[in-house]
Amino acid sequence: MPTLSTDLLGAHRVAVLASVDIVDSIGTGDLARSTPCAGWDLADLLAHMTVQHRGFAAAARGGGQDLALWDPAGLRDTPDPVAEYAAAAHEVLDAFAAADPESQFALPELGTTVPAEMAVGFHLIDYAVHGWDVAASLGSPFTLPDDVVAAALPLALAVPDGDFRSMPNAPFGPAHTGDSATDFDRLLRHLGRDPHWSDAFDQESPQPVQ
């Protein structure tokens, strides 16, 4: 039986588990912290990250069409959002590992279906960035191995930039210009982040960067 690229799944697994590790350092008092996602505090971001894991896991199993599966309502105030996040992360890792590589993943937020390998790539770059988002909110470092960044960077750079990124519900905000000290900084900039963000910066923008 054909399988998804082991290199892609391996890079994806490392990125997701790195996000679990940084989320595990969140304390209850941290949930009101601001984040690089304008308009979202850390509780909002964590709810988004958790429900996206669940939605992608459902899509990998052939059942992602229902938009309700992607709704973070209720997750923001869950009693143990850190544990909820870890459980959802392991759910999506298991679902991706078992996915039919020839299947199509339903992604109703994008209004389309995509091939399995493309969906894994989407999820990889999303959680490379969201792991950094959480770390930036906490004032903590976040790094990924060079091979993971090397796998994620071309996928990130393939995401087109343009005015549509300023529209409501755009997956990423407009790309940031500037010199990038590392390939990971380059990835962050292209996907709408300032690698030097801190919660002391002015975060006014027309929409959340997701």
Query: What pLDDT was estimated at residue 114?
Result: 96
* Cα dihedral 173/129/122/66 (nearest 10): -80
Backbone angles phi, psi at 192, to 5 degrees: 90, 15
Question: Are 137 and 42 a contacting pair, CB within 8 Å?
Answer: yes
Superfamily of the domain at 6-156: dinb family like domain (1.20.120.450)
Kindly give the confidence (pLDDT) of every residue in the chain, 210 residues in length, as a single tens digit, with 9 standing for 90 and above: 445 688 999 999 999 999 999 999 999 999 999 999 988 999 999 999 999 999 999 999 999 999 999 999 989 889 999 999 999 999 999 999 999 999 999 999 888 999 999 999 999 999 999 999 999 999 999 999 999 999 999 999 998 876 656 666 666 777 888 888 899 999 999 999 999 997 444 443 333 444
Report pLDDT for 161.
76
Question: 86-122 in b/e burial notation, b at 16+ Cβ within 10 A?
Answer: bebbebbbebbeebeeebbbbbbeeeebbebbebbbb
In Å, how far from its chain's centre is CA 196?
Answer: 19
Instruction: Give CA–CA dist 203/198, Å, rounded.
Output: 9
The pLDDT score that the predictor gives to residue 104 is: 96
> How many Å apart are CA 161 and CA 26, to the nearest integer?
32
pLDDT on residue 139: 95
What residue ranges do the domains of the chain occupy?
Answer: 6-156
Q: What is the pLDDT of residue 178?
A: 81
pTM: 0.90
Helices (H), the chain: 6-23, 42-60, 81-98, 116-138, 146-157, 183-190
